[in-house]
Amino acid sequence: MLDSKLVRTQLQDVAARLATRGYQLDVARIEALEAQRKTVQTRTEQLQAERNARSKSIGQAKQRGEDIAPLLADVDRMGSELESGKQELDRIQSELDQLMLSIPNLPHESVPVGADEDENIEVRRWGTPKTFDFAVQDHVALGEQHGWLDFETAAKLSGARFALMRGPIARLHRALAQFMIDLHTRDHGYEEAYTPYLVQAPALQGTGQLPKFEEDLFKISREGEADFYLIPTAEVSLTNIVAGEILDAKQLPLKFVAHTPCFRSEAGASGRDTRGMIRQHQFDKVEMVQIVEPSKSFEALEELTGNAEKVLQLLQLPYRVLSLCTGDMGFGATKTYDLEVWVPSQDKYREISSCSNCGDFQARRMQARYRNPETGKPELVHTLNGSGLAVGRTLVAVLENYQQADGSVVVPEVLKPYMGGIDIIG
Q: 31 among the known binding-site residues?
A: no
Distances (CA, A) of 376 to 164, 313, 342, 383: 53, 43, 49, 21
Given 171, 297, 393, 400, which residue is catalytic?
A: 393
Q: Is 235 annotated as a binding residue?
A: yes
**Contact status, residue 257 vs residue 184, Cβ threshold 8 Å:** yes
353 labelled ligand-binding: yes
234 is annotated as contributing to ligand binding: yes
Do the beta carbons of residue 97 and residue 33 sit within 8 Å?
Answer: no
User: Is there a catalytic annotation at residue 279?
Assistant: yes
For residues 261 and 240, give the distance between their C-alpha atoms in angstroms, rounded to a whole number.
17
77 counts as catalytic: no
270 is known to lie in a ligand binding site:
no
Residue 354 a catalytic site member:
yes
Given the residues 8, 43, 166, 279, the one annotated as active site: 279
Catalytically annotated residue among 264, 364, 365, 369? 264
CA distance 81 to 83: 5
The DSSP call for residue 190 is P
Q: Would you say the C-alpha torsion 1, 366, 232, 172 has a positive or negative sign?
A: positive
Whether the CA torsion 196, 198, 202, 205 is positive or negative: it is: positive
233 is in an annotated binding site: yes
Which residue out of 354, 364, 369, 400 is catalytically annotated?
A: 354
**CB count in 10 Å sphere of residue 189:** 13
Residues ≥6 apart with Cβ < 8 Å to 31: 11
264 annotated as belonging to a binding site for a ligand: yes
Judge contact between 342 and 317, C-beta under 8 A. yes
Q: Are 352 and 312 in contact (CB under 8 A)?
A: yes
Give the active site residue among 54, 351, 379, 408. Answer: 351
The answer to whether 8 is annotated as binding is: no
For residue 411, give the DSSP letter: P
3-class SS at 135?
Answer: coil
Enzyme catalytic residues: 264, 279, 351, 354, 393
Which amino acids are annotated as binding site for ATP, given as ranges?
264-266, 351-354
Which amino acids are annotated as binding site for L-serine, given as ranges?
233-235, 287, 387
Which amino acids are annotated as binding site, given as ranges?
233-235, 264-266, 287, 351-354, 387
